[in-house]
Every structure is written in C-alpha cells, then in structure tokens.
Amino acid sequence: LYWDEIMGGYWCTFSRNPDIYNPHFEKVLHVPWKARQNNLIQNGSTRIKLTLSIADIIEKGDENIIKIFEKYGLFCAGCEFSTGETVEDGCRQHGIDSNSTKKLILELQNTIKNDQIQLN
C-alpha cells in the first residue's frame, strides 16, 4: 500500500490512542523503502551503511561524531527525527548539497575508523 492511500482511507484506516507513532512506522509504509539502494560507502574496513540511522551512529559514536554533524549544520543529538533519518536523508532535509554530504560521510568514516568505533 502507498502511504497516501492509507492516509486517505482508501484501503484501510488506522488509529491509536494516544495518536503517537514511531518514526520508523512511516518508513515501513513507503513503497520505495524496499527498492532503496542498499550499497555501502567504504573506506578501508570502516563502513557506514546508507540505511543506518543518524541516531544509531551518534549512539555508538562519541563527542567527535556529534561535533562533525554540528560542523555541517546538523544538530542531530536529541532530535526526534534522527531515529528515522539516514545521513543522506538528514542532509537532504536540511538542504546540504551532495558534495558536502559525501564529505560529511567521509569525515564520519575517518573518525569512526580512528576512534575504533564499532557500528555493528
């Protein structure tokens, strides 16, 4: 089902009390979710999966990770959307161009590798 078909009540309706949903719930309902490109950006043995959420990276990382995000204007620590957004999603939402996004990911990878942070 498409998200707008569900929201429009075409196929079904849903409700919850209280009316609060996990940010991942919406991702499950989006059709492109399964078709999403699932390749890895690699730098040596350090890997950031493009499907890994910002919150997961911050949680497993350290202060340096938070500082890198903030350097690029992404104040993700404590943001309610960080659990449902990947680095690419966050950059896109905040208007960060693709070159800066690549630089951010490379900087994150280098920090993860140098600080020996395990993302698994």
Six-digit token string for 90:
């966050």
What pLDDT is stored for residue 104 in this prediction?
93
- pTM here is 0.58
Tell me which long-range contacts 54-62 makes (C-beta under 8 A, separation of at least 24): 54/79, 54/82, 54/83, 54/85, 54/86, 54/87, 54/90, 55/82, 55/83, 56/119, 57/87, 57/108, 57/119, 58/82, 60/117, 60/118, 60/119, 61/111, 61/112, 61/115, 61/117, 62/115, 62/117
Could you report how far apart the first and last alpha carbons of the chain are, in Å? 31
Q: How far is CA 42 from CA 31, 38, 48, in A?
A: 27, 13, 7
Per-residue pLDDT of the chain in tens (120 residues, 90 and over written 9)? 455 555 555 566 666 677 666 666 665 555 444 444 444 344 444 456 667 888 888 888 888 999 999 999 999 888 888 888 899 989 988 899 989 999 999 999 888 888 777 766
Give the architecture (CATH level 2) of 37-120: Orthogonal Bundle (1.10)
Q: Domain extents for the chain?
A: 1-36, 37-120
